[in-house]
Chain A
Amino acid sequence: MDFLAEFLQANMTMIYVLILAIYLGLELISKVPTVLHTPLMSGSNAISGVVVIGAIILVRSVESNDYLALSLGFVGCTLGMINVVGGHAVTNRMLEMFKKRK
């Protein structure tokens, strides 16, 4: 309880960021038409690949002889990158049909 209060006060700004971001997340797509459900899912899934950033930082910060960490990190980077790149690519394909005819 007390610990919680502490914590709250310490990270209040952070919490604001959270709340605002969450609300924004909801607000942004609240009016998406059904057709876009899948593309949107795929797109945001690609974004969820941000974890790759974590992987990168991780690999950068471990000693270059700690092979376990490195290889795990390597795997992480690869997987994350697949998620990111593949995700966006797939999304883009899904959205082909929305090319404007002129």
Chain B
Amino acid sequence: MDTVFHGEIHLRRYLSDQGKPEQVLPDWTHSPERLVRYYRNMVLVRQLDYKIIALQRTGQIGTYASLLGSEAIDTVVGDLMAADDVLVPYYRNHALQMLRGLPIEDVLCYWGGDERGSAAAALGDDFPNAVPIATQSLHAAGVASAFKVRGEKRVAVTLCGDGATSKGDFLEALNVAGAWQLPVVFVVNNNQWAISVPRSIQCGAQTLAQKAFGAGIRGEQVDGNDVIALHEAVSEALKHAREGKGATLIEAVSYRLSDHTTADDATRYRASEELKAAWEREPVKRLQTFLHEQGWWDERQEQAWIEEVGQMIQTSVDAYLARPQQPIEHLIDYLYAELPNALEEQRERLIRNAQPGGSRHE
């Protein structure tokens, strides 16, 4: 029988779980600058996560999706994207949004149940968080189509979880990206769980990266706890897309070190040994060890940075908590560019009810 297609998926990884090089490292890792920046950003991201969880526990923020375990992915993608590329995130990418310029205050605002968290001009053309799973994959394909139609050398970058790879939207997006050779990069944060559903139940294939084959795009697997491997994979994919050569699917193998959200209790379905083992591979510590051994980072710098980050975050928290409530009419005024006549009466009722004496006045 003729062989009419042949494909392979490779796993890219440079640093061992213990932060030791497993193969020759790329040139850019020979100077500290970028790696230290990655590290500092990962620490910032993690501290922010801890803080938001604390705010949630004290009722100052709503249900929250922790990013613990995906710091490396968000950090590297955030760093490598060009300013005028467009990010099409999912709900676990607020760190990435922040690294692309969204003020922390707005991150808090969003998770605090306030639409203004997606309004900041700093977001540029970036999409707000997508909550319905995998819908963002298609939006990214649409964004990339716009770039392609206009001949712009911009790239759309979109992320999703391992669970999302089962949904038609994701697969349809890969397909059109291949058919139209779109400048888009799909990054799957394969953190092994979709709420309580393990990766093994999601899909019978050995890797998620091989979903690229069905669409005729590039696919590869990368250790999502290894910033060096991520850096290589993401920069190649961006370059490939920017040169008009089409899309890439990157499966970044990570682990969700947190509960699914603050509304979840993972102990109900996840063995504690598995979680413990995952902490041995986690990205921040891994890079820290490497930097220590290079002599590029020490305990003193760590303390200073944690303090600096802590203050930065606290300033944002204060600003968030002090932010006045949005005007009540915002609930209706942004629905259409112009208020249709048909909505005027409801708008009046909305405002009246919120006033002292109204049915909804607190």
On whether the two chains bind one another, the answer is: no
